[in-house]
Amino acid sequence: MSSPLNLAPLCQLAVGSTGRICAIKGDESFAQRLREMGFGEAALVTKISGHKTSLCQVKGTRIALNHDAAMSILVELLPALGRVEGPAVS
């Protein structure tokens, strides 16, 4: 049995952290606009900076969101991804 997800609004994500988008709150037209910008469910988003305005990177694009928009995007915090080194080529 899997444990429940620990979700938080995107605006509460620490700078430099990455989360997986799990849900978008709000009316359907607003949610659809966010999805068109790349903030769809299951997308990975990294918070670059911000408090009142959140600068985020999603799908290779940096996008600034106001506080209300960032509050409506619920993310699951992902563990820091360490750099994986492949085998040495000789």
Measured between alpha carbons, how far is 16 from 3 in angstroms, rounded to an integer? 25
pLDDT at residue number 76:
96
Domains along the chain with CATH numbers? 7-77 (2.30.30.90)
Measured between alpha carbons, how far is 46 from 37 in angstroms, rounded to an integer? 14
pLDDT at residue number 83:
42
Indicate whether 61 pLDDT > 80: yes
* pTM > 0.85: yes or no: no
Measured between alpha carbons, how far is 83 from 74 in angstroms, rounded to an integer? 26
